[in-house]
């Protein structure tokens, strides 16, 4: 009766598995710090690590200090926060939908934010400063619409996905319409539509930081319900989870994480879809480890991609979204083929 199972290799002892997972987290943190320093070094001008150190902590007003402190540091911090937010958003939504293809865009946040942002930029360019605010409101409206349409005595994952597709189509159509009507001004919004961290300053850091802090804490409090939702609705209910409340709260936090990010940097897809999968392959599907790793790797990916976006085709800057799609897609396929304990 047990022959089939005995042929399988025994998994490593419990304690060893935990140590391994902790090691992966530490390694990811180390990589993130390295990437952060490297991203400060390279750009249209390159500096040595010593110069970066001098700029950050030294008193002298050097050129390095001006560029690093006023340009690269805020930009890196924005990438750090946005990357973590989008990855966490995707990870939470994949638990909510129990669908490996769930990503922040599914909630309508991105297209709603895009329509509102693009409207301001194209129709009322004189109010350009309002773009983040309008984009957040637009994302919130679209997301609210998706969940309103999906609600029918509770939130059913399939209905959320279908409502998301429908709402995205309508809002996406609106954005396309505006781009055609105002095709003379389209150049200015292309970077935003493809997601770009170029020119993000301390102003954006201050805008993003408090919300990010709140949302990060909220996301980490979702670990238990997210794990329970993975076991299926009936099993989660049996274990005393109010599945509808959990779905609603988790979706709200995920939409908030995506909303604050999209409204500051425009549409950056891909992170929210792919980072949670990479994390599952690396560390397993227990959200206790998977969620923190998602945040770390999301930041790592976006900081690296942004550094690449501004250096590879110097002096032309590319939208970071394009870099990620081109590099990340094949990497994801490689991981998928290679497999691991987790298979999609």
Partner 1 sequence: MITAQNINLCYDKKTVVWDFDFEVRPGEIVSLIGPNGSGKSTVLKAISRLLKCTCGTVHLDGYDIYKLPTREVAKKLSILSQVHATPPDFTVRELVNYGRVPHQQWYETLNQEDREIVAWAIAQTRLEQFADRTVNSLSGGERQRAWIALALAQRPQVLLLDEPTTFLDICHQIELLDLVKRLNASLGLTVVMVLHDINHAAAYSHRLVVIKDGRKVAEGAPVDVLTPKLLSEVYNVQAEIAYHPKTGKLYFHALGLACAKKELPCNQATA
- Distant-in-sequence, close-in-space partners of 241: CB < 8 Å, separation ≥ 6: 225, 228, 229
Site for partner 1 in 241-260 (CB under 8 A): 241-242
CB of 93 to partner 1, least distance (A): 16
Site for partner 1 in 268-287 (CB under 8 A): 280, 284-286
Q: Is the dihedral of CA 333, 296, 138, 103 positive or negative?
A: positive
**CB closer to partner 1, 180 vs 343:** 343
Q: Quick check: 111 and 168 in contact, CB under 8 A?
A: yes
**How many other β-carbons are positioned within 10 Å of the β-carbon of residue 47?**
21
- Distant-in-sequence, close-in-space partners of 323: CB < 8 Å, separation ≥ 6: 305, 306, 308, 309, 312
Q: Quick check: 73 and 80 in contact, CB under 8 A?
A: no
Q: Quick check: 164 and 108 in contact, CB under 8 A?
A: yes
**CB closer to partner 1, 10 vs 187:** 10
Given the rule CB under 8 A, which of 1-9, 39-47, 79-87, 303-311 is the region that contacts partner 1? Answer: 1-9
CB of 282 to partner 1, least distance (A): 11
How far apart, in Å, do the first and last CA atoms of the chain sit? 28
Q: Does 11 bind partner 1 (CB under 8 A)?
A: yes
Site for partner 1 in 321-340 (CB under 8 A): none
Interface residue with partner 1 among 8, 46, 126, 187 (CB under 8 A) is: 8
**CB closer to partner 1, 154 vs 199:** 154
CB of 20 to partner 1, least distance (A): 12
Instruction: Specify burial of residue 325 (Cβ count, 10 A radius: 0-12, 13-18, 19+).
Output: middle
Q: Does 30 bind partner 1 (CB under 8 A)?
A: no
**CB closer to partner 1, 32 vs 223:** 223
**CB closer to partner 1, 13 vs 59:** 13
Question: Taking CB under 8 A as the rule, which mask of x and - marks residues 213-232 in contact with partner 1?
Answer: --------x--x--xx-xxx
Q: Does 235 bind partner 1 (CB under 8 A)?
A: yes
Q: Does 98 bind partner 1 (CB under 8 A)?
A: yes
Question: How many positions of this chain bind partner 1 (CB under 8 A)?
Answer: 33
**CB closer to partner 1, 185 vs 288:** 288
CA distance linking residue 84 with residue 302, whole number of Å: 9
Q: Is the dihedral of CA 233, 274, 256, 119 positive or negative?
A: negative
Q: Does 156 bind partner 1 (CB under 8 A)?
A: no
For residue 155, report the phi and psi dihedrals to the nearest 5 degrees.
Answer: -100, 120
**Binding stretches for partner 1 (CB under 8 A):** 1-2, 4-5, 8, 10-14, 98, 221, 224, 227-228, 230-232, 234-235, 237-242, 280, 284-286, 341-343
């Amino acid at each position: 009766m047990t022959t089939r199972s005995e042929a399988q290799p025994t998994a490593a002892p419990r304690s060893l598995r935990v140590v391994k997972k902790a090691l992966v987290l530490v390694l990811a943190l180390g990589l993130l710090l390295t990437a952060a320093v490297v991203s400060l070094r390279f750009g249209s001008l390159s500096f040595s690590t010593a110069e970066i150190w001098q700029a950050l902590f030294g008193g002298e007003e050097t050129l390095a200090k001006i560029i690093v402190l006023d340009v690269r540091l805020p930009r890196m911090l924005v990438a750090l926060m946005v990357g973590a937010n989008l990855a966490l958003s995707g990870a939470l939504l994949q638990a909510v939908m129990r669908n490996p293809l769930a990503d922040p865009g599914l909630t309508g946040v991105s297209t709603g934010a895009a329509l509102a942002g693009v409207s301001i930029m194209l129709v009322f360019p004189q109010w350009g400063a309002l773009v983040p605010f309008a984009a957040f409101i637009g994302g919130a409206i679209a997301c609210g619409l998706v969940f309103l349409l999906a609600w029918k005595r509770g939130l059913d994952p399939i209905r959320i996905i279908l409502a998301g597709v429908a709402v995205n189509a309508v809002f996406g159509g609106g954005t396309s319409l505006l781009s055609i009507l105002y095709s003379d001004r389209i150049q200015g919004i292309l970077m935003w539509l493809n997601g770009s961290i170029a020119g993000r300053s301390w102003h954006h850091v201050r805008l993003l930081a408090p919300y990010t802090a709140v949302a990060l804490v909220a996301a980490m409090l979702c670990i238990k319900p997210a794990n329970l939702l993975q076991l299926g609705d009936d099993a989660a209910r049996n274990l005393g989870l109010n599945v509808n409340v959990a779905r609603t709260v988790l979706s709200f936090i995920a939409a908030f994480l995506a909303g604050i990010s999209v409204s500051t940097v425009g549409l950056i897809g891909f992170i929210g879809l792919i980072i949670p999968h990479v994390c599952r392959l690396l560390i397993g599907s227990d959200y206790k480890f998977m969620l923190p790793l998602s945040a770390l790797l999301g930041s790592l990916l976006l900081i690296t991609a942004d550094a690449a976006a501004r250096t590879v085709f110097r002096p032309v800057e590319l939208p970071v979204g394009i870099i990620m799609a081109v590099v990340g897609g094949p990497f994801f396929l490689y991981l998928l083929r290679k497999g691991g304990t987790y298979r999609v």
